[in-house]
Amino acid sequence: MPGALRRRFHRRIGLALGAALAGVAVAGVALALYDSNHIRPKRLVEIEPGLLYRSGQISPRLIRGVLEDLGIRRVVWMLHYDDAKASHRAEREAIDALGIERLHFPMRGDGTGKIPRLADAIAAVHEAREAGETVLVHCAAGSRRAAAVVSMYQLLVEGRPVDQVYRELDRYGSRPVAQSAILPFLNSNMRELAEELVERGVLERVPEPLPLLRPPVQVGLRARLSLAAAARTPGALAL
């Protein structure tokens, strides 16, 4: 085989082998995630012991046991119900069988969406807490949508420190929350959200000064500049 042809052949073999190994690695990661989510509840976090939890979509084989073990009385579901998904069907069946209240407030996967819907979800959490009922807030991944509800409840209703709330918002996600759409979305719509909560009787008045979430100093300059630019366009990311 001529040298040039041989080199091309070896290069193609190398590329094919690299692609195959990459495919195996991706499949291995996917399998590991699948297995882990069937062994333990996906991103289940205890926010307030015995009272408030957040999570991702919990596996069909785990959902009923989790709801029973935690004593959940209300589920705030932040995604659209899809009867074609076994996990959705299993959760609905478990909720119905256990007599749990199920509330749906779908938002986009990045945590953005309609402010009144987010206010409804926060109000549902507040009502459960006032009644002493244990509540679970969940979405699909257990990162942005569930985090938006829990963090805004902590910030506006409980009045927790901004840095603590920011850490809750940034707990999960494929990238830092400072680089995501949810942070400018929440900041630019904070007043509207507070006004909606006043209308629902959750807040007595809109907080003044209005609290805003800011990334810590160590976050890169590019992310902070992007956040500042987005914040200058109020409501730009709202549906």
Rg (CA), the chain: 22
User: Using one digit for the tens of pLDDT, what is the confidence trace for 183-212?
Assistant: 999 999 999 999 999 999 999 999 999 999
Angle (CA) 149 176 192, round 5°: 35
User: pLDDT class for 11, splitting at 50, 70, 90?
Assistant: low
Q: Residue 217's pLDDT is what?
A: 67
Torsion angles phi and psi, residue 55, rounded to 5: -165, 175
Strand order, beta sheet including 101-104: 45-48, 52-55, 135-138, 74-77, 101-104
Of residues 236 and 213, more confidence is placed in 213
pTM: 0.76
**64 pLDDT exceeds 60?**
yes
**34 pLDDT exceeds 70?**
no
- For residue 188, CA distances in Å to 54, 160, 192 come to 24, 19, 9
Cis ω on the peptide bond leading into residue 209 (within 30° of 0)?
yes
**4 pLDDT exceeds 90?**
no
User: Using one digit for the tens of pLDDT, what is the confidence trace for 151-162?
Assistant: 999 999 999 999
List the chain domain ranges.
43-231
Mean pLDDT, residues 99-127 taken together: 97
43-231 in CATH: which number? Answer: 3.90.190.10
User: pLDDT class for 216, splitting at 50, 70, 90?
Assistant: confident
